[in-house]
Chain A
Amino acid sequence: MNGLLEPSFAITVLPYVTVVVMAFGFALRLARWFIAWKEAPVMGKVAVTRHGRFLGVVENWTVNMLPPRDLAAKYEPGFYVVGVTMHLSFIALLLTNVHEFALLKFLLPGVELASSPFYVPKPWSHVLSAVFLVSLLLMILRRIRHWVSGRALRAISSARDFVAAPLLWLVGLSGFLASIAASTWPYPLPTYIITLHIVIVQVFLMYVPFSKFIHGVTVFIVRTLFGVRRAEYGV
């Protein structure tokens, strides 16, 4: 796919801007969290534990995420299935495409990046993309439906929610089109599509630390600590 690209702003300057903005965003977050750490918290730590903390964490990352233990799965099975499908397909796409990350390629010129060990060949990668796009679209539609009919989600949704998910969807769509275009569409269309994809991905990356996408990082802390708590309390 890379041979189709010509040097342009998207692959020469933008990657550096992306890295700087991302670093700044993450630094701001970390600063806020660590400043709070220094302020004496109102609560001390629980010293006793009923079950092993490590096992509690493992349990919270495995069986507790599956029905019937997961309450979201119990009460909104449709949302659960779509949500899990969306996240799993996103992770799979990320892993399969990791060798093609424009950012890494252009920031580390001359370094031979190994192919992803999780590489999924076509047409399966296309199926994966389609699954991701459909499931994310369903999640976007769920929010829109709630918004329009004045239901629960409307009260907690903000304008940013209607930016974040569609942006991610555009990342997926442009990537999907780019992978089709690279092998089947006539020149110069693939160049445009791939460049567009690279730009959208970088906008997305810059947006991550300032948006709800931060949950992709913080979830590992939050779910792990809930596992610790469950182990301490023995539930």
Chain B
Amino acid sequence: MVKKGLLISVDDVLTTRQLIELETCVRCGACAEACPVYKASEDVLAMPALKLKELRDLVHRGQGILASIFKPKPVDVKELERIAKEAYTCTLCGRCMPGCVFGIQNRELREALRFILYRSGVIPDQLKKIASYLDEKKNPFNAEPADRLKWVAYSLSELGEIPVNKRAETVYFVGCRTSLIEPNHDIARLTAFLLNHVGEDWTILGENEWCSGVSWIAIGDVEKARDYARHNVRLIESLGAKKVVVTDAECYAMLKWRYPQLIFRQPNFKVLHITEYLADCIEKGKIDFYGDIDKVVTYHDPCMLSRLGGVVEEPRLILNTLTSKFVEMPENKMDTYCCGGGGFLPEVNRELSMKIAKTRIGHAKEVGAEVIVTSCPMCREMLREAVKELNEKIEVVDIVELAVKKMKPIERAQIV
């Protein structure tokens, strides 16, 4: 049977604040200039305000004045598919929030639109596949849960003990991208090394760790994100941990800001990004570094860590301690430019994602950077790939790599 139209319910998706925001947009289009996807594609499909308009139209059809007097109007499936194309052409970078003349929190409206579309079953096929991986294996990469420990297995001797699922003061939440994508394993290994070096009482969750839920939010299932949040919080709290250290910026924003919203309470632990942890170690004199770095170094703020996470000063403190040649890129801190990797845009439109990443490399070149430091495995992957495609000589490293390899009394060879 062909589905003709669907009744869209928005009651349980949008908050009062969001309904007010929908009515506040004056369709001036200013946010488009701030949106990296729109800038890279010049396609009106990608305009932040267009997605907002679609959401408002859905709301009006479902619960507008006319819908209340008569009855809600069904929405054609074809139309929903068109809206889905718009909604998923977005990295969820949140740049349209400071880009809006009124400060409409556009990013969450984007998420809300995805929730509605997911419920209507019209999400892109690539994301349906990822959703099934998540359901089955609790990660978006179709990897076996046991694979989360691969990085531990081959690095034990170099790093000292890596406790798994033990009671400890601190949990290192490794994240799917770091533990399951091999080129990112060094981030986990170096973090483990750091934690052992400063004498932290720590553990990892191993195979029991689930995706932080960020993938579900990006796909559009807030209830699954809530389940995953509850699972991870329960697990961490059962180990008695008071602190969680995170190296993935997306996981950080989830654990720090979304978990309290999703589980309707503050978890019993505090969440630190590795940059906050490192900065604290430097300030307390727990670690020290060798010499200077003889290259021009710049820093790419991951959106989820800066604009959507609030961590902007700590990475700069670390870099200014490590090098005298640190330069700021244009579009930094709160206004940081997306690497193109968020919101599953690479899965939906790889070419567009790479175009955004290449723009970011252009920003680094503008300031003569030879090394781009970032603090998220996703950003590192995207920027590395862009450098490769552009045939540039710029190095892209994670801040943990740069810091730990320069730590006293470590010989480079010991841990690389």
Contact = CB atoms under 8 A, between A and B. Distances in A.
Contacts of B21: 218, 222
Given A42-B222, A235-B306, A218 B23 contact: yes
Nearest to B306: A235
Given A155-B47, A215-B25, 5 more contacts: A41-B12, A76-B33, A156-B44, A223-B103, A226-B104
A155 B257 contact: no
Contact of A44 (B33, B44, B65, B261): B261
B12 A71 contact: no
Contact of B34 (A37, A75, A157): A75
Interface in B147-188: none
B296 interface: no
15 contacts: A36-B14, A41-B16, A42-B15, A42-B222, A44-B264, A71-B335, A72-B30, A72-B34, A75-B33, A153-B29, A156-B29, A214-B23, A218-B23, A229-B105, A235-B334
Contacts of A33: 16, 19-20
Contacts of A83: 28, 101
Interface centre among A43, A70, A212, A229 (most CB of B within 10 A): A43
Contacts of B99: 71-72, 75
Contacts of A40: 12
A233 B28 CA distance: 27
Q: Please give me the 9 A-B residue pairs with the lowest Cβ-Cβ distance, nearest first.
A: A226-B103, A75-B33, A234-B310, A233-B310, A155-B44, A44-B264, A43-B261, A72-B30, A41-B15
Contact of B53 (A28, A156, A232): A156
A46 B108 CA distance: 14
A161 B13 CA distance: 27
A27 to B, nearest CB: 11
Give the interface residue-count category, chain A. 35 or more
B275 to A, nearest CB: 13
A112 interface: no
A235 B310 contact: yes
Interface in B1-47: 11-17, 19-21, 23-30, 32-34, 38, 44, 47
B27 A44 contact: no
A64 B283 CA distance: 30
Interface residues of B, number: 60
B16 A34 contact: yes
Contact of B13 (A34, A42, A157, A225): A42
B50 A156 contact: yes
Interface in A54-72: 60, 64, 70-72
Contacts of B65: 28
Contacts of A212: 25-27
Interface string A206-223: 000000101100110111
Contacts of A36: 11, 14-16, 19
B141 interface: no
B27 A222 contact: no
A235 to B, nearest CB: 5
A157 B15 CA distance: 25
B245 interface: no
A111 interface: no
Contacts of A108: none
Interface string A155-187: 111100100000000000000000000000000
B12 A32 contact: no
B131 to A, nearest CB: 18
B63 interface: yes
A119 interface: no
